[in-house]
Amino acid sequence: MKHWNEECAVVGVYNVENASILSYYSLFAMQHRGQEASGISASNGSKITTIKNTGLVTKIFTEKRLNKLQGRSSIGHNRYSTAGEDSMNDTQPIFARYDLGEMAIAHNGNLTNAKQVRQMLINEGAIFQSHLDTENLIHLIARSKKQSLTDRIIDALGQVDGAYCFIFLSRTKMFAIRDRYGLRPLSLGKIQNQDGSTGYIVASESCAFDLVGAEFVREVKAGEMLIFDGAYSLSDNQPKSIQVFEPNEHPCVFEHVYFARPDSNVFGHNVYKARKQMGIELAKEHKIEADMVIPVPDSGVAAAIGYSKQSGIDFELGLIRNHYVGRTFIEPTQQQRELKVRLKLNPIAELIANKDIIVIDDSVVRGTTSKQIIKILRQAGARKIHLLISSPPTISPCFYGVDTPHKEELICANKSIGKVRKYIGADSLGFLSIEGLMRSLGNENKPMCKACFDEMYIDDFTKANPCVSC
């Protein structure tokens, strides 16, 4: 694995004709956050219809299937499988019928006490259909003694811990909530309907708004619940807001490093600008003489541009990525593993032969892909290869909803930078400092979750449970 696996994507659309169409396009825009499975639930006011399957958004949702998802409200989910089984039962949204009617849930994140809550529910007679910790919420809501769905959701959320963005859909309402740490991004947008009414959309990334023509309003606050209900008519034309939990904001820094699309705005910053600034900071910290700067596409492009700008060294596309390569099977031999890298990346030998080059990438996880990239550049004739990483060394796994290797698999957690350099075969190896990373975001004093770099996990989150939500 070259990178940490993406988180999942969630979207919710309310009071828009053919809401499922907007959910479809939003999921398409956020396909980078999950390619294993996708699903949409839509409500026409009297019933909820759900269609989901494994595969990409465009393969699952044909015109015929989208026509079955009628209604003015819908929610959707892209899944990147992590722990748990890769089966239809583990796709989202999760749908259930209970005493108040029907409900569907989409979830991005990880409930860190999911194992304990699930066992408690099983001991009380609950039967689970999936391996998802998201399903805990269905049972907690159904068993709650509260009278309204709003109060039941709040009651259920009070019994779980972790990092999450939830979107709940009933037959007539929609709810969106972010955990009190604000680890996962979630934004609110609005849509002007042709009849003059206002529709709403919430999504993991703002790039979804651009595609469907929605106007960005604001980020959902940490610990906030938004209630979309036709019964509310508010003067500011926004959904009802309840601050369910006292916020203790620690947004995930890796959204800027790798997860989010460059054209998205997350946590108050444009992702492309942040990554470009990381390259500028990298050039300030690592001054190297070379003939050219080459990005590992596509993850290193923005940082390489920043490095080139700050250093004055020419930017070149020395590695070309084949965008039409899908997932390949796990190959058992070294030769086949090398071929897997070459399927995706090919060097321009005429450009880099007999040159000293600086290669920019966003992270090193196991080091195996970096090693292969250095090898193919060396075979293409590069004289010296300096590998620079636009983030600090990744020394800790994530337990807040990202599929990451165990610590013993993280090369920088177990080897010195000198030994990592020797393993991957580069002439030099450098990482951006944590201070440089925070300067890139203009957040030197703002708390962010960077446990993957410093092992300082948030609050009292347990680290015992793997993520099975996404």
Q: Which of 169, 168, 200, 166 is nearest to 186 (CA)?
A: 166
In this predicted structure, what is the pLDDT of residue 343? 81
Buried b / exposed e along 385-417 (16+ C-beta atoms within 10 A): bbbbbbbbbbbbbbbbbbbbbeeeebbbbeeee
Does 262 have pLDDT greater than 90? yes
> Between 149-157 and 135-143, two packed helices, what is the crossing angle to 10 degrees?
120
Average pLDDT over residues 148-164: 94
Q: Which two tokens stand for residue 170?
A: 């009933």
Mind giving me the DSSP string for 402-470?
-----GGG-HHHHS-HHHHHHHHT-SEEEE--HHHHHHHTT-TTS--B-HHHH----TT--S-SPP---
Question: To which H or E segment does residue 211 belong?
Answer: helix 207-212
Distance from C-alpha of 34 to C-alpha of 27, rounded to nearest angstrom: 9
Asked if 183 and 8 touch (Cβ cutoff 8 Å), the reply is no
Q: Which of 193, 259, 174 is nearest to 452 (CA)?
A: 259
Residue 336: CB partners within 8 Å, gap ≥ 6? Answer: none
> How far is the first Cα of the chain from the last one, in angstroms, to the nearest whole number?
18
Buried b / exposed e along 48-59 (16+ C-beta atoms within 10 A): bbbbbebebbee
Hey, how many other C-beta atoms are within 10 angstroms of the C-beta on 366? Answer: 16
Distance from C-alpha of 216 to C-alpha of 187, rounded to nearest angstrom: 8
Q: Tell me the pTM.
A: 0.88
> What's the chain's average pLDDT?
89
Asked if 249 and 181 touch (Cβ cutoff 8 Å), the reply is yes
CA distances from 88 to 38, 103, 222 (A): 10, 18, 31
Residue 377's pLDDT band, with cuts at 50, 70 and 90, is very high
Q: Which two tokens stand for residue 400?
A: 């807040």
Residue 3's pLDDT band, with cuts at 50, 70 and 90, is very low
Q: Which two tokens stand for residue 235?
A: 């003067």
pLDDT single digits (tens) 30-80: 999 988 999 999 999 999 999 999 999 999 999 999 999 999 999 999 997
pLDDT single digits (tens) 231-252: 544 445 679 999 999 999 999 9
Cα dihedral 454, 460, 464, 469 in deg (nearest 10): -90
Residue 330's pLDDT band, with cuts at 50, 70 and 90, is very low
Radius of gyration of the chain (CA): 23
Q: With 0-12 CB in 10 A as exposed, 13-18 as middle and 19+ as buried, what is 359?
A: buried
Q: Could you give the residue numbers annotated as active site?
A: 8
Q: Which of 179, 164, 191 is nearest to 13 (CA)?
A: 191
Higher pLDDT, 272 or 339: 272
Average pLDDT over residues 215-243: 84
Distance from C-alpha of 375 to C-alpha of 385, rounded to nearest angstrom: 10
pLDDT single digits (tens) 190-199: 999 999 999 9
pLDDT single digits (tens) 79-125: 975 444 556 778 999 999 999 999 999 999 888 888 999 999 899 98
In this predicted structure, what is the pLDDT of residue 100? 93
